[in-house]
Amino acid sequence: MSHIDLPQGTLDLLILRTLWAGPQHGWAISERVQQVSSDVLRIQQGSLYPALHRLERRGWIRAQWGTSENNRRAKYYELTRAGKKQLEKEEESWRKLTAAVAQVLEGA
Protein backbone atom coordinates (compact mmCIF):
# COMPACT_ATOMS: atom_id res chain seq x y z
CA MET A 1 0.00 0.00 0.00
CA SER A 2 1.35 3.45 -0.84
CA HIS A 3 1.90 6.12 1.75
CA ILE A 4 0.19 9.50 1.62
CA ASP A 5 1.85 12.79 2.48
CA LEU A 6 -0.14 14.55 5.16
CA PRO A 7 -1.75 17.88 4.21
CA GLN A 8 -0.69 20.87 6.32
CA GLY A 9 -2.43 20.87 9.71
CA THR A 10 -3.46 17.22 9.52
CA LEU A 11 -0.53 16.08 11.65
CA ASP A 12 -1.73 18.19 14.60
CA LEU A 13 -5.19 16.63 14.35
CA LEU A 14 -3.74 13.09 14.25
CA ILE A 15 -1.51 13.73 17.26
CA LEU A 16 -4.34 15.28 19.30
CA ARG A 17 -6.69 12.42 18.39
CA THR A 18 -4.09 9.79 19.28
CA LEU A 19 -3.45 11.41 22.67
CA TRP A 20 -7.19 11.48 23.38
CA ALA A 21 -6.83 7.81 24.38
CA GLY A 22 -4.22 8.70 27.01
CA PRO A 23 -0.59 9.76 27.47
CA GLN A 24 1.95 8.35 25.02
CA HIS A 25 5.55 8.96 24.05
CA GLY A 26 6.45 10.22 20.60
CA TRP A 27 7.41 6.89 19.04
CA ALA A 28 4.15 5.31 20.29
CA ILE A 29 2.14 8.17 18.74
CA SER A 30 3.67 7.59 15.30
CA GLU A 31 3.28 3.81 15.63
CA ARG A 32 -0.38 4.18 16.61
CA VAL A 33 -1.20 6.42 13.65
CA GLN A 34 0.51 3.98 11.30
CA GLN A 35 -1.33 1.00 12.84
CA VAL A 36 -4.79 2.59 12.90
CA SER A 37 -4.41 3.84 9.31
CA SER A 38 -3.54 0.34 8.08
CA ASP A 39 0.02 1.47 7.31
CA VAL A 40 -1.09 4.28 4.95
CA LEU A 41 -0.15 7.19 7.21
CA ARG A 42 3.40 7.41 8.48
CA ILE A 43 4.68 10.28 10.56
CA GLN A 44 8.32 11.06 9.95
CA GLN A 45 10.33 11.71 13.11
CA GLY A 46 11.50 14.98 11.54
CA SER A 47 7.87 16.16 11.46
CA LEU A 48 6.62 14.56 14.67
CA TYR A 49 8.82 16.24 17.25
CA PRO A 50 8.50 19.79 15.89
CA ALA A 51 4.71 19.24 15.86
CA LEU A 52 4.74 17.98 19.46
CA HIS A 53 6.75 21.02 20.55
CA ARG A 54 4.38 23.36 18.67
CA LEU A 55 1.32 21.76 20.32
CA GLU A 56 3.01 22.02 23.70
CA ARG A 57 3.77 25.74 23.15
CA ARG A 58 0.10 26.30 22.27
CA GLY A 59 -0.93 24.66 25.54
CA TRP A 60 -2.82 21.81 23.85
CA ILE A 61 -0.56 19.09 25.20
CA ARG A 62 1.84 18.80 28.13
CA ALA A 63 4.87 16.58 28.54
CA GLN A 64 6.57 14.82 31.38
CA TRP A 65 9.39 12.32 31.59
CA GLY A 66 8.63 8.67 32.29
CA THR A 67 9.89 5.18 31.52
CA SER A 68 8.87 3.42 28.30
CA GLU A 69 7.90 -0.24 27.88
CA ASN A 70 11.52 -1.13 27.09
CA ASN A 71 12.80 0.61 30.24
CA ARG A 72 14.06 3.73 28.48
CA ARG A 73 13.56 7.28 29.60
CA ALA A 74 10.91 8.87 27.36
CA LYS A 75 8.89 12.05 27.24
CA TYR A 76 5.17 11.31 27.56
CA TYR A 77 2.65 13.68 26.07
CA GLU A 78 -0.96 14.13 27.13
CA LEU A 79 -3.88 16.34 26.13
CA THR A 80 -4.72 19.37 28.24
CA ARG A 81 -8.26 20.66 28.69
CA ALA A 82 -7.52 23.26 25.99
CA GLY A 83 -6.22 20.44 23.78
CA LYS A 84 -9.47 18.51 24.13
CA LYS A 85 -11.43 21.60 23.07
CA GLN A 86 -9.06 22.14 20.15
CA LEU A 87 -9.45 18.50 19.10
CA GLU A 88 -13.23 18.97 18.92
CA LYS A 89 -12.79 22.07 16.73
CA GLU A 90 -10.23 20.34 14.49
CA GLU A 91 -12.42 17.25 14.05
CA GLU A 92 -15.43 19.38 13.11
CA SER A 93 -13.36 21.37 10.59
CA TRP A 94 -11.91 18.17 9.14
CA ARG A 95 -15.39 16.64 8.67
CA LYS A 96 -16.64 19.79 6.92
CA LEU A 97 -13.57 19.92 4.67
CA THR A 98 -13.71 16.25 3.67
CA ALA A 99 -17.47 16.44 3.02
CA ALA A 100 -16.98 19.51 0.79
CA VAL A 101 -14.10 17.89 -1.12
CA ALA A 102 -16.19 14.74 -1.61
CA GLN A 103 -19.04 16.84 -3.00
CA VAL A 104 -16.72 18.52 -5.49
CA LEU A 105 -15.17 15.19 -6.55
CA GLU A 106 -18.58 13.61 -7.06
CA GLY A 107 -19.96 16.61 -8.92
CA ALA A 108 -16.92 17.31 -11.09
Q: Where are the domains of the chain?
A: 10-107
- In terms of Cβ atoms closer than 10 Å to its own Cβ (0-12, 13-18, 19+), residue 33 is buried
For the entire predicted model, the pTM comes to 0.88
The pLDDT, as a whole number, for residue 5 is: 72
Spatial CA neighbour of 75 closest among 32, 18, 11, 28: 28
Binned at pLDDT 50, 70 and 90, residue 38 comes out as very high
Residue 63 CA to residue 78 CA, distance in Å, equals 6
Binned at pLDDT 50, 70 and 90, residue 4 comes out as confident
CA 50 to chain centre: 12
Q: Is the pLDDT of residue 8 over 90?
A: no
* CATH entry, 10-107, from 3.30.750.24, 2.40.30.10, 1.10.10.10, 1.10.150.120: 1.10.10.10
